[in-house]
């Protein structure tokens, strides 16, 4: 059975560093607890439209030719996230996991002074374990100031952290393998033994220079994903989907048309476009901004 594009309901993940108020992105999250992440294409996200409405994304893996390859999220840190590291595919499989976690962050909101950490100042891991005990790990990190519109690549093996005062759109491999190295005294488990194994002293992590393309801006192009931003006026624009991916609206009102059907592209929700769909058309009555997140065709 051919699976047509469909919209997913976000799944809200409670985190001690999150927020209760996620406006203007979301109104009711269904919880009074702190929410740190809105998973837009998580396995537990529920389909809102089409023949598979009410099913989870995970339950469609057989019909989609396998697990959806991209986990797209919005992050809402009100406090610092833990200092952490993700393994690459080789290390993840050696440690009993399915795959690694390479990711990128696109800055949607940023307060003055907001920053993220990407990598180690001197490229050495020798002092990391000692810094956990004496609380100095932050001083070993490369902190990078961020502004709205920045794209940051987070290569697997990069020690990293996120400060408060930002909203990020994260695109990553579908994996939740995280090794927490330091958590500012919060009573959560650390994973130093595994984390120290998978750290790469030097990686390709950092800010990515955008490239203007024909009708859109290429924000990042890596092995596991390509992320583009479209800022278009009223009218119809074709959007190619060379592999499995999704569209996420940032502002404005529009619909996605395909095979004689259409569905609304809602702000901060994902419309999944299965592999083989080809180009879809985004039709807007006013100016709109949306993201295209695509994985390589299998």
Q: Is 17 left (phi over 0), alpha (psi -120 to 50) or beta?
A: alpha
Look at residue 94 in the predicted model and tell me its pLDDT.
Answer: 97
Q: Is pLDDT above 80 for 216?
A: yes
**Residue 222 burial (CB count, 10 A):** 16
Q: Is pLDDT above 90 for 258?
A: yes
pLDDT single digits (tens) 29-40: 999 999 999 999
Look at residue 129 in the predicted model and tell me its pLDDT.
Answer: 83
pLDDT single digits (tens) 130-177: 898 888 999 999 999 999 999 999 999 999 999 999 999 999 999 999
* CA pair distance 219, 211, nearest whole angstrom: 7
* CA pair distance 213, 294, nearest whole angstrom: 16
Give the pLDDT mean for 275-295.
96
**Residue 269's pLDDT band (boundaries 50, 70, 90)?**
very high
Give the pLDDT mean for 86-103.
97
Q: Output the average pLDDT for the chain.
A: 96
Delineate the domains of the chain, giving CATH numbers in brackets: 6-203 (2.60.120.10), 211-294 (2.60.120.10)
Global pTM reads 0.97
Which residues are designated catalytic? 180
* CA pair distance 119, 154, nearest whole angstrom: 9
pLDDT single digits (tens) 47-78: 999 999 999 999 999 999 999 999 999 999 99
Give the pLDDT mean for 233-251.
97
**Residue 1's pLDDT band (boundaries 50, 70, 90)?**
low
Expressed in angstroms, the distance from the first to the final Cα of the chain is 18
Look at residue 122 in the predicted model and tell me its pLDDT.
Answer: 83
């Amino acid at each position: 059975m051919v699976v047509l594009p469909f919209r997913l309901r976000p799944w809200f993940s409670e985190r001690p560093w999150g927020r209760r108020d996620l406006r203007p992105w979301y109104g009711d999250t269904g919880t009074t607890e702190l929410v740190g992440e809105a998973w837009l294409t998580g396995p537990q996200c529920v389909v809102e439209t089409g023949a598979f409405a009410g099913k989870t994304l995970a339950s469609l893996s057989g019909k989609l030719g396998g697990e959806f390859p991209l986990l797209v999220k919005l992050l809402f840190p009100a406090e610092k996230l833990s200092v952490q590291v993700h393994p690459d595919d080789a290390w993840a499989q050696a440690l009993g996991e399915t795959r690694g976690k390479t990711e990128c962050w696109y800055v949607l909101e940023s307060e003055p002074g907001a920053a993220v950490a990407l990598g180690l100042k001197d490229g050495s891991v020798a002092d990391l374990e000692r810094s956990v005990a004496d609380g100095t790990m932050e001083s070993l990190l490369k902190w990078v100031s961020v502004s709205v519109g920045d794209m940051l690549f987070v290569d697997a093996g990069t020690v990293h952290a996120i400060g408060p005062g930002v909203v990020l759109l994260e695109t990553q491999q579908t994996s939740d393998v995280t090794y927490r190295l330091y958590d500012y005294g919060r009573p959560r488990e650390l994973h130093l033994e595994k984390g120290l194994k998978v750290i790469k002293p030097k990686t390709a992590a950092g800010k990515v220079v955008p490239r203007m393309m024909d009708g859109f801006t290429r924000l990042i192009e890596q092995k596991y994903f390509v992320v583009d931003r479209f800022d278009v006026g009223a009218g119809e624009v074709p959007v190619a989907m060379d592999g499995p991916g999704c569209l996420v609206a940032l502002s404005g009102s529009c619909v996605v048309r395909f095979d004689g059907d259409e569905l609304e592209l809602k702000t901060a929700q994902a419309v999944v476009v299965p592999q083989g769909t080809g180009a879809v058309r985004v039709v807007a009555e006013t100016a709109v901004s949306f993201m295209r997140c695509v994985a390589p065709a299998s």
